[in-house]
Copies of this chain bind each other. A is one copy, B any other.
């Protein structure tokens, strides 16, 4: 009955299950047994493939980041104008991370993980730098001298909006998020911005 080439299948199932469980419980307090059960195998097998719980978490985080990066890259290729590229990055930031539905809940918890696990922190840093440079590149033609500063603000804004989406009891609204951030962007670029529709039931308070 032993099948060949099960390793990638099992690993993928575990990664997916990890994201789902963390998202569902909205906490890193997920047991290996829970993850394995959801992935349809024993916890012993999970250890067999990953060696430790930390490695499972790391793989799950890596997976989320990889997909995110891939989607941003894809969107950038299509967009031809500078502003189109910026919009693409924004849009991906609020859609790509939902590929599993619950992954929005997993994201914040990976941030927490990055606080403690150096490997996770390094992983995060790589992607953060890469995406920052994406923003700067896209901004350069539009606001050469202020590109860095605007990129910084844009990044913070994305994080902040995303954080609120992750914590709000209501269903996430990606479009509203993008509209809000584009409003800021256009302000910086000197365009007249379309009046923003403020979503109801949103907290406007600081973190």
Q: Does A15 contact B (CB under 8 A)?
A: no
Q: Complex: how many Å from CA A157 to CA B154?
A: 9
Q: Does A42 contact B (CB under 8 A)?
A: no
Number of interface residues of A (CB under 8 A): 61
Chain B residues with CB under 8 Å of A205's CB are 127-132, 134-135, 155
Task: Tell me which of A183, A195, A205 has the highest count of chain B C-beta atoms within 10 A of its own C-beta.
Answer: A205
Q: Complex: how many Å from CA A169 to CA B122?
A: 11
Verify A125–B155 contact, CB threshold 8 A: no
Q: Does A198 contact B (CB under 8 A)?
A: yes
Query: Which residues 64-118 of A sit at the B interface, judged by CB distance below 8 A?
Result: 89, 93, 105, 107-109, 111-112, 114-116
Are A183 and B153 CB-contacts (below 8 A) given A128-B205, A160-B163, A167-B115?
yes
Verify B198–A148 contact, CB threshold 8 A: yes
Give me the interface of A with B, judged by CB distance under 8 Å: 25-28, 89, 93, 105, 107-109, 111-112, 114-116, 121, 124-125, 127-132, 134-136, 146, 148-149, 151-164, 167, 169, 180, 183-184, 187-188, 195-196, 198-199, 202-207
Some 20 contacts from A to B, beta carbons below 8 A apart, are: A27-B112, A28-B112, A105-B115, A108-B115, A114-B167, A121-B169, A127-B205, A130-B205, A131-B204, A134-B205, A148-B204, A149-B183, A149-B198, A152-B180, A153-B183, A155-B204, A156-B163, A156-B164, A157-B157, A187-B188
